Structure 1
Amino acid sequence: MSTDNTNRAIAAAILPLVGGAANIDSVVHCMTRLRLGLRDRRLVQDEALVGLPDVMGVVEDETYQIVLGPGKVARVTPEFEALVAEERAEERAAERAAEPEESATSQALTADELAERGAELKAAQKARNQTSVKLFLRRIANIFVPLIPALIGCGIIAGLNGLLINLGWLTAVTPALGAIASGFMALIAVFVGFNTAKEFGGTPILGGAVAAIIVYAGVANIEAFGQKLSPGQGGVLGALAAAVLASYVEKWCRKVVPEAVDVLVTPTLTVLVSGLVTIFGLMFVAGEVSTAIGTAANWLLDNTGAFAGLVLGGLFLPLVMLGLHQALIPIHTTLIEQQGYTVLLPILAMAGAGQVGCAIAVFKRLKRNNSIRTTIRSALPAGFLGVGEPLIYGVSLPLGRPFITACVGGAAGGAFVGFFSMVGDKVGSTAIGPSGWALFPLLDGNKGLGETIAVYAGGLLVGYVVGFAATYFFGFSKQMLVDLNTGPEADSEADSEADSEADSEADSEAVPSESPAERPKEPAGV
């Protein structure tokens, strides 16, 4: 079966289990999850979905999230959207061709009632799952997640360019590579402003226009708070604040500006008001906050590196589980803007190492659970590359205790990397997104590349070993081992072993027994 047919088959298997096309409001995806807006949550068959071979797990949040893993989700989503469109087209054709007018009216009323009930259920579910903090963090994630591909690509090119410069190779090409790697980062504020306005209900291009002020070279001629501004001051945080302000100014203008002049007045007032506040307020304030973030991160690792790494590495998996780890992107981006690399990402990446060690231990302990072992075989390569969600939702989280021991492994790896930061050997990443082994091309620091790679590799090794040991010795109770090594597959295996033993016994009976004189005496008490 071709790859396209395989992805379509996966989409076709998922669609009826989420209530069909009639139950779908929206379809989007992130790096690992298919995110669906549903009309009626009760139509979803969770257990059947999790039972599909290609589904790593499900997460119920503002959207219903099906974890498919990196790469696969980007290929399955278009097929899923196509199937939804096809099913809806077929339903519309059937409605037009079928019934008398009165029956159609009756069906329409029923459909309206169902839609209303679904909307009410959706609203109630959102109200239960959302707090102001969660909503804010998700919005921040929605702004920055679309930027990750460019951050990864430009970061890897920057790392390659730095390596070529250090080696003195291809000197005619390195300026071009530098321009390619730096162009996006120089204008990232514009993209942040665009996405922010879109997320907060404004016109995206107006958000980008206001954020562009921050990176405009001409701001160097402007003085605010007694200081000359500098291009890029405030960075992505300033762009974020400026675009949020622009969205609210635009909404206010839509309410008070007459429709006849709205097309002229609203965008002008939005850019003017938001732009002036950005220049004479937000750029300075955001610049101070950005500086404080960099100072705090460096102080934390310089003075409490091992402890900070322990806490950060140990708590990162729960953030990944909740999907809130993307909210850290503005902090990483700010550090990259200031220092050229983020010192937090390599420490947080140790959580994935603890997860990998945990998964290997589970594989060793559950020798007769073919289902879990198959999941680990398929998810472990992604785990080594730093994508932890398949192992989280497919292995450690459903088991319970192994999730905690995986966090212990991440804490140990984080403490290792943090300790070296504390003694002056900082390890950073020039971009965000990759983790695990995939982070090696992006590594940078204040020492030589060899030392930086060695510290990071040592942290991964510590995370693997501690995650494995903690899970192997403390991840299962005796009853868990009995239950998880017993089941249809294990029973069939046990039956085959029993049959083999029976055959062996039968064979031994066919052999002449030893005479009493030849048979060794058994020790007393046996």
Structure 2
Amino acid sequence: MATDKNRATASAILPLVGGPDNITSIAHCMTRLRIGLRDRALVQDAALRAVPGVLGVVEDDTYQIVLGPGAVARVTPEFEALVAEERTATPSPSPSPSPASAPAPAAAPPPVTAGELADRGAALKAARKERNATPVKLFLRRIANIFVPLIPALIGCGIIAGLGGLLANLGALPTVVPALAAIASGFMSLIAVFVGYNTAKEFGGTPILGGAVASIIVFPGVAKVTAFGLALSPGQGGVLGALCAAFLAVRVEKWCHRRVPEALDVLLTPTLTVLVSGLITLFGLMFLAGEVSAAIGRCADWLLATGGAFAGLVLGGLFLPLVMLGLHQALIPIHTTLIEQSGHTVLLPILAMAGAGQVGAAFAVYLRLPHNGSLRTTIKSALPAGFLGVGEPLIYGVSLPLGRPFVTACAGGAAGGAFVGLFSQLGVTFGSTAIGPSGWALFPLLDGTSGLGTAVAIYAGGLLTGYLAGFAATYFFGFTKPMLAELNRSATAPDPTSPQPADTPALSR
């Protein structure tokens, strides 16, 4: 039955994105089905949002359909198979918009509905993408592409590590605890190799050569090597060193391909790539990346120990805007470095408060717009995902196109971040053993110096603070009077007991 459901979702999505001949690429991340399109005009956004199981749509470098964690990993293979089947069965002519399928021009300004707000959100996202496609942000996106495929393993190993720690604290199943520790630690001990592999793949090199160079970092024999007068230690430099080493390997490999004779390329290029990049990694990159990694850990500890409440307020309040600008991708290597060093990242629980502020703001919008049935339906369908940390449907379908509720959602995130940061300042530190999940989904991944129970209690308190602050800020300050009246009287069909004028204009932004 589950397979039938996933197949049905894929079947519903395919014609709404222009059919198989309009698809150029298919991929997925933790929550989104990412599709490359030949003709964006063929996509029926409103109909897609109405498909059961679709939580929202986002347009970035690819067209992204938000399905949520778990669901996306099941629907994507069905979607790929369906595309392949239809292409094989009936080669279709190049898609072209027909008069019947082309959106009809509105004779009058449309009502302010959830669909209109979602379209505004998509337009704002597309405008930001066009303005912010700078070299720095494109580079950060590529860095994110290196680490995103590692997130499922980080989550799985993080939960297993937490389970092992809980059993150890309880003194239960003593023969199982070491096995769980081995299962949880195996991936983390070799994460540098996976980072190296993905780095070479992302930057156009041979992935296995990137992994080979990065594996030098975790090889126990590096303890016999001396650099800058100091003996190296296995793992020194961590994921940052692996990233730099693999990137260097790509540059060396490309240089060799241009200059090595074709007859010798198959022998000399991989040899020179591994040798040159390996020597530079051993006698330079490992030491330098190790110093940077240690500095990141010290900086995070100092920031939360000395100004935890203020730091939490700033981080929690600015995270949603960072997401909108794409700058949050710079945090992924930092999270991974902190997990590699101490077993958890102290920053993620604070940043997760931004989602709490978003949920609280959505509740306030729901209550303040009792007559806007369309938008209230969108909020009801998106809130379960919002509680689990999937915020895109609420961001792009509700708060961002409305404007003010986006700002008040940030205020809620700031309050929750300050709450969590305050306890770090008081010496009660905790973090997440993996990146990716947020909201309630982060509970199984919490770990801290004061025990799991304390970490869970503080994180829950932060979420509650974010919910309440986001709600209050949005309820009292999220709407102007004209905006509130306009949204309430024009978003749905006229109420028989309260007739509405037929020519009500759409909300002006």
Instruction: Name 1:166's counterpart in structure 2.
Output: 169
Q: Does structure 1 conserve the Cα–Cα contact (< 8 Å) formed by 2:411 and 2:469? A: yes
Q: CA deviation at 1:381?
A: 1.9
Please tell me whether residue 332 in structure 1 is matched to residue 331 in structure 2.
Answer: no
Instruction: Name 2:10's counterpart in structure 1.
Output: 11
Q: Secondary structure at the match of 1:59?
A: strand
Q: TM-score, normalised by structure 1?
A: 0.84
Q: 1:53 to 1:397 in 2, by over 3 A?
A: farther
Identify which range, 40-49 or 314-323, moves more after superposition: 40-49
Instruction: Name 1:65's counterpart in structure 2.
Output: 64
After TM superposition, the structure 1 = structure 2 runs for residues 59-458 of structure 1, keeping only pairs within 5 Å, are 59-92=58-91, 130-322=133-325, 324-458=327-461
Q: Does structure 2 conserve the Cα–Cα contact (< 8 Å) formed by 1:61 and 1:129? A: no
Matched residue type, 1:351: A
Q: Give deviations 1:18-72, integer Å, cap 9, x for gaps.
A: 3332222111111122212222334434454445554443333222222233233
| Alignment partners' CA distance in 2, 1:46 and 1:381 | 21
| Alignment partners' CA distance in 2, 1:126 and 1:480 | 27
Q: CA deviation at 1:240?
A: 0.3
Q: Does structure 2 conserve the Cα–Cα contact (< 8 Å) formed by 1:56 and 1:394? A: no
Q: Does structure 2 conserve the Cα–Cα contact (< 8 Å) formed by 1:347 and 1:414? A: yes
Q: 1:496 to 1:326 in 2, by over 3 A?
A: same
Instruction: Name 2:31's counterpart in structure 1.
Output: 32
Higher helix share: 1
Gaps of 5+ in 1: 96-106, 108-124, 499-526
Q: Does structure 2 conserve the Cα–Cα contact (< 8 Å) formed by 1:342 and 1:428? A: yes
Q: 1:342 to 1:206 in 2, by over 3 A?
A: same
Matched positions, count: 466
Q: Does structure 1 conserve the Cα–Cα contact (< 8 Å) formed by 2:9 and 2:52? A: no
Q: Does structure 2 conserve the Cα–Cα contact (< 8 Å) formed by 1:408 and 1:467? A: yes
Identify which range, 126-135 or 204-213, moves more after superposition: 126-135
Q: Does structure 2 conserve the Cα–Cα contact (< 8 Å) formed by 1:238 and 1:282? A: yes
**Bigger radius of gyration:** 1
Q: Does structure 2 conserve the Cα–Cα contact (< 8 Å) formed by 1:428 and 1:443? A: yes
Q: Does structure 2 conserve the Cα–Cα contact (< 8 Å) formed by 1:321 and 1:392? A: no
Gaps of 5+ in 2: 95-127, 500-509
Q: Does structure 1 conserve the Cα–Cα contact (< 8 Å) formed by 2:371 and 2:491? A: no
Q: Secondary structure at the match of 2:173?
A: coil
The percent of aligned pairs where both chains have the same amino acid is 76
Identify which range, 250-259 or 437-446, moves more after superposition: 437-446
Q: TM-score, normalised by structure 2?
A: 0.86
Matched residue type, 1:446: T
Q: CA deviation at 1:448?
A: 3.3
Q: Secondary structure at the match of 1:138?
A: helix
Q: Secondary structure at the match of 2:172?
A: coil
Q: CA deviation at 1:269?
A: 0.8
| Alignment partners' CA distance in 2, 1:451 and 1:6 | 40
Matched residue type, 1:73: V
Please tell me whether residue 467 in structure 1 is matched to residue 482 in structure 2.
Answer: no
Matched residue type, 2:496: D
| Alignment partners' CA distance in 2, 1:395 and 1:13 | 24
| Alignment partners' CA distance in 1, 2:488 and 2:70 | 32
Q: Does structure 2 conserve the Cα–Cα contact (< 8 Å) formed by 1:250 and 1:270? A: yes
Q: CA deviation at 1:301?
A: 1.0
Q: Does structure 2 conserve the Cα–Cα contact (< 8 Å) formed by 1:427 and 1:443? A: yes
Q: Does structure 2 conserve the Cα–Cα contact (< 8 Å) formed by 1:430 and 1:442? A: yes
Q: Does structure 2 conserve the Cα–Cα contact (< 8 Å) formed by 1:356 and 1:383? A: yes
Q: Secondary structure at the match of 1:485?
A: helix
Q: RCO (CA 8 Å, sep 6+): is it higher in 1 or 2?
A: 2
